[in-house]
Amino acid sequence: MSDVQLSSCLADQMQRFIDLRRLAGTDYGSQARLLSYFDRFLSEQGVTEPRIACQITDAYQRTLSHLRPRVQENRYSVVRQFCEYLSRTDPLGYVPDFFRTHPSQDATPRYIYSPTDIQKLLAAAGQLPPAGSLRPQTYRTLLGLLYSTGIRIGEAFALNVEDFHRDTTSLFIVAGKFRKARWVPLSASTCGALARYLQARSRFSLHAPDSPLFLNQRSRRLHYPPVHQTFQRLLCQCGLPQHAYTGPRIHDLRHTFAVHRLLAWYRDGQDVNARLPWLATYMGHVNIQSTHVYLRATAELLEQVDRRFHQHYLEHIQSHGGSV
């Protein structure tokens, strides 16, 4: 994407901010475009003071009220990031609070797969036709990887053979969201499954390091439409509920990973709040707020939260003579 045209009193600072983000390894093209809307707002309002005040961000937020909540959040979040950048050299600079939205009643609900659901899906994927082809192993390994790591489906499609590092039990995600690269540690079982897939894959295709990790029946990179169609057939075969607009979806495997990871931490007695930044980094999020979208209060999770609270009450309140 070509560079945006900036003309406000903060144009130079905005351009330096955009350049800095790009130097950090992100494309930042779409965010730069969103920031240009704020630049245009400043020009139209005749702002000449090279410092952002609370009144300015509040006024800008009001101009976004006609947009969908998610669009409002995206535009406002970029402005907040820019304000944080300015505050590093200007202690008096204003940094607005995070944008708050109310969940829309029309928002797509997230389906959290149960362990039994996952077992059924993997078993069904392993029986896909044609018999003797790589296809069943491709889908079984792909779905298992999405569930066990929570990586995005596009990130999985973009993986090459060389991105799997068996010696360090990790994946290197080159084409993450906003082109942000990251390392994803793997469990021993996931690493073993990928190794077995590569061994099976070598009988059908060349093992060149820069070749796609997951192959279709023509030994080319997977693409979403045929994978989506196959996944829908697997859902039907497994007896899982299907709705045209509400899922379950492949992307819900990412939601399931986040919820199940949280559940495992509760069961292990870990400090969940301290580990949420780990989860955000692992999933490729820039902040915890993005990770919160993937967390849902399932019955199992609420049970663990209740159990921990009860244990805390017994240890720290009742033992000291407290009362409810």
Tell me, yes or no, whether 208 lies in a domain: yes
Residues 234 and 127 in one domain: yes
Residues 158 and 187 in one domain: yes
Name the more confident of 296 and 158. 158
Catalytically active residues are: 152, 177, 251, 254, 285, 294
User: 324 pLDDT band (50/70/90 cuts)?
Assistant: very low
Residues 207 and 256 in one domain: no
Tell me, yes or no, whether 112 lies in a domain: no
Tell me, yes or no, whether 48 lies in a domain: yes
According to the model, what pLDDT value does residue 286 have? 77
Tell me, yes or no, whether 196 lies in a domain: yes
Residues 206 and 297 in one domain: no
Range picked from 24-33, 50-59, 122-131, 297-306 for highest mean pLDDT: 122-131
3-state secondary structure string, the chain? CCCCCCCCCCHHHHHHHHHHHHHCCCCCHHHHHHHHHHHHHHHHCCCCCCCCCHHHHHHHHHHCCCCCHHHHHHHHHHHHHHHHHHHCCCCCCCCCCCCCCCCCCCCCCCCCCCHHHHHHHHHHHCCCCCCCCCHHHHHHHHHHHHHHHCCCHHHHHHCEHHHEEHHHCEEEECCCHHHCCEEEECCHHHHHHHHHHHHHHCCCCCCCCCCECCECCCCCECCHHHHHHHHHHHHHHHCCCCECCCECCCCHHHHHHHHHHHHHHHHCCCCHHHHHHHHHHHCCCCCHHHHHCCCCCCHHHHHHHHHHHHHHHHHHCHHHCCCC
The domain in which residue 289 lies consists of 252-320
How many domains are contained in the chain? Answer: 3
Mean pLDDT taken over the chain: 87
Instruction: Indicate whether 246 pLDDT > 50.
Output: yes
Range picked from 235-239, 267-271, 285-289 for highest mean pLDDT: 235-239
Tell me, yes or no, whether 109 lies in a domain: no
Segment 126-130 shows an average pLDDT of: 96
Tell me, yes or no, whether 94 lies in a domain: no
Tell me, yes or no, whether 4 lies in a domain: no
Domain containing residue 214: CATH number? 1.10.443.10
- Answer yes or no: are the C-beta atoms of 46 and 198 closer than 8 Å: no
Tens digits of residue pLDDT in 209-224: 999 999 999 999 999 9
Answer yes or no: pTM beyond 0.75: no
Segment 229-244 shows an average pLDDT of: 87
